[in-house]
Amino acid sequence: MQAVILAAGENSRFWPLNQTHKSLIKIMGRPLIWYTIEGLKKSGIKNIIIVQGKSKSVEEELKNYDLGADVKYAIQAEPKGMGDAILKAKDLLEDKFFVLNAERFDADDFIKPILEKQKSSSAGVVLSGAKTLTPWLFGVLELDGDKAKNIVEKPEKGKEPSDIRVIGVYLLSKEFLSYCQRVPENMYAFEDSLRLYIKEKEVRVVVFDKEPSSLKYPWHLFGAVEYLMDRYLLKTKISKTAKIAKSAVLQGNIHIGENVKVFENAVIKGPCYIGDNSVVGNNILVRHYSNLENNSLIGTNVEIARSIFQEGVHCHSGFFGDSILGKGCRVGAGTVAANVRIDRGEVRAMVKEERIGTGLDSFGFVMGDNSKIGINCSLMPGVLIGSNCLVGPASVIFENIEDNTNFYTEFNVVKKGS
Q: Tell me the per-residue pLDDT of 137-182, one tens digit each, with 9 for 90 and over.
A: 888 999 999 999 999 988 998 899 999 999 989 999 999 999 999 9
CA 95 – CA 93 distance, rounded (Å): 6
Distance CA 308, CA 343 (A): 25
Contact assessment for residue 407 and residue 385, using Cβ atoms and an 8 Å cutoff: no
**Following DSSP, what letter does each residue of 139-150 receive, concatenated?**
EEEEEETTEEEE
Using only the alpha carbons of the chain, give its radius of gyration.
23
Task: Answer for the pair 302, 284: CB distance below 8 angstroms, yes or no.
Answer: yes
417's CB contacts (< 8 A; 6+ apart) are none
Is the pLDDT assigned to residue 127 strictly greater than 80?
Answer: yes
- Please give the pLDDT value at position 414: 54
Q: What is the DSSP letter of 401?
A: B
Please tell me the predicted confidence (pLDDT) of residue 153: 87
**Secondary structure of the chain: what % helix, strand, coil (to 5)?**
20, 35, 45
pLDDT score for 247: 98
Sign of CA dihedral 139, 222, 229, 69: positive
Domains (range + CATH), the chain: 2-216 (3.90.550.10), 236-414 (2.160.10.10)
- The three-state secondary structure class of 369 is coil
**Per-residue confidence at 418, pLDDT binned at 50, 70, 90?**
very low
> For the whole prediction, is pTM greater than 0.85?
yes
Cβ atoms 358, 371 nearer than 8 A: no
37, containing H or E segment:
helix 32-42
